[in-house]
Amino acid sequence: MVRERRVSTGKRLVGSVVSDKMDKTVVVRVERMARHPRYGKVLRRVKKYKAHDEGNVCRIGDLVRIVESRPLSREKRWVVEEILKRTEAGTVTGVGQ
Protein backbone atom coordinates (compact mmCIF):
# COMPACT_ATOMS: atom_id res chain seq x y z
CA MET A 1 0.00 0.00 0.00
CA VAL A 2 1.51 3.29 -1.13
CA ARG A 3 0.66 6.39 0.85
CA GLU A 4 0.33 9.58 -1.14
CA ARG A 5 0.91 12.86 0.59
CA ARG A 6 -2.13 15.08 0.29
CA VAL A 7 -1.67 18.67 -0.78
CA SER A 8 -3.06 20.84 1.97
CA THR A 9 -5.52 23.54 1.04
CA GLY A 10 -4.91 25.43 4.29
CA LYS A 11 -3.33 28.83 4.76
CA ARG A 12 0.36 29.29 4.00
CA LEU A 13 2.62 31.79 5.77
CA VAL A 14 6.27 32.75 5.40
CA GLY A 15 8.40 33.62 8.40
CA SER A 16 11.75 33.17 10.11
CA VAL A 17 12.61 30.57 12.74
CA VAL A 18 13.28 32.16 16.14
CA SER A 19 13.56 28.99 18.24
CA ASP A 20 14.43 25.35 17.52
CA LYS A 21 14.97 24.14 21.09
CA MET A 22 11.96 21.80 21.17
CA ASP A 23 11.99 18.32 19.65
CA LYS A 24 10.30 18.32 16.20
CA THR A 25 8.94 21.83 16.81
CA VAL A 26 10.09 25.28 15.73
CA VAL A 27 8.75 28.73 16.58
CA VAL A 28 8.22 30.82 13.45
CA ARG A 29 7.93 34.63 13.55
CA VAL A 30 5.57 35.95 10.86
CA GLU A 31 5.44 39.66 10.07
CA ARG A 32 2.60 41.41 8.28
CA MET A 33 1.86 45.02 7.47
CA ALA A 34 -1.43 46.51 8.66
CA ARG A 35 -2.86 49.98 8.33
CA HIS A 36 -4.05 51.73 11.50
CA PRO A 37 -7.84 52.03 11.31
CA ARG A 38 -8.04 55.70 12.29
CA TYR A 39 -4.70 57.29 11.46
CA GLY A 40 -3.75 55.30 8.38
CA LYS A 41 -0.14 54.70 9.40
CA VAL A 42 1.28 51.40 8.19
CA LEU A 43 2.26 49.26 11.18
CA ARG A 44 4.32 46.09 11.39
CA ARG A 45 2.41 43.34 13.18
CA VAL A 46 4.22 40.21 14.41
CA LYS A 47 2.84 36.85 15.49
CA LYS A 48 4.67 33.68 16.50
CA TYR A 49 3.46 30.23 15.47
CA LYS A 50 4.64 26.81 16.66
CA ALA A 51 5.17 24.55 13.66
CA HIS A 52 5.96 20.85 13.29
CA ASP A 53 9.45 20.09 11.93
CA GLU A 54 9.55 16.30 11.49
CA GLY A 55 13.26 15.93 10.75
CA ASN A 56 14.57 18.68 13.07
CA VAL A 57 16.22 20.29 10.03
CA CYS A 58 15.25 23.94 10.64
CA ARG A 59 17.73 26.21 12.39
CA ILE A 60 17.40 29.66 13.94
CA GLY A 61 17.28 32.34 11.24
CA ASP A 62 15.99 30.08 8.43
CA LEU A 63 13.23 31.51 6.25
CA VAL A 64 10.46 28.88 6.07
CA ARG A 65 6.99 28.40 4.62
CA ILE A 66 4.46 26.90 7.04
CA VAL A 67 1.08 25.45 6.15
CA GLU A 68 -2.02 25.06 8.30
CA SER A 69 -2.88 21.51 9.39
CA ARG A 70 -4.96 19.56 11.86
CA PRO A 71 -4.14 20.13 15.55
CA LEU A 72 -0.94 18.23 16.42
CA SER A 73 -0.79 19.34 20.06
CA ARG A 74 -2.31 21.98 22.30
CA GLU A 75 -0.54 24.87 20.53
CA LYS A 76 0.76 23.32 17.30
CA ARG A 77 -1.46 23.65 14.20
CA TRP A 78 1.16 24.38 11.54
CA VAL A 79 3.68 22.23 9.64
CA VAL A 80 6.93 23.38 8.00
CA GLU A 81 6.35 22.90 4.27
CA GLU A 82 9.75 23.98 2.99
CA ILE A 83 12.87 25.91 3.89
CA LEU A 84 13.12 28.88 1.54
CA LYS A 85 16.48 30.24 2.69
CA ARG A 86 19.09 28.69 4.97
CA THR A 87 21.19 30.69 7.42
CA GLU A 88 24.88 29.91 7.61
CA ALA A 89 26.12 28.82 11.04
CA GLY A 90 27.00 31.74 13.29
CA THR A 91 25.47 34.51 11.16
CA VAL A 92 22.14 34.95 12.92
CA THR A 93 21.40 38.63 13.51
CA GLY A 94 18.27 40.51 14.50
CA VAL A 95 16.11 37.45 15.14
CA GLY A 96 13.66 37.47 18.04
CA GLN A 97 13.78 41.16 18.79
Residue whose C-alpha is closest to residue 58's, from 81, 83, 84? 83
- What does the pLDDT read at residue 90? 60
Pick out the chain residues at pLDDT < 70. 1-8, 90-97
pTM of the model: 0.81
CA geometry: angle 1, 56, 87, nearest 5 deg: 130
pLDDT recorded at residue 88:
84
Domain 12-85's class? mainly beta
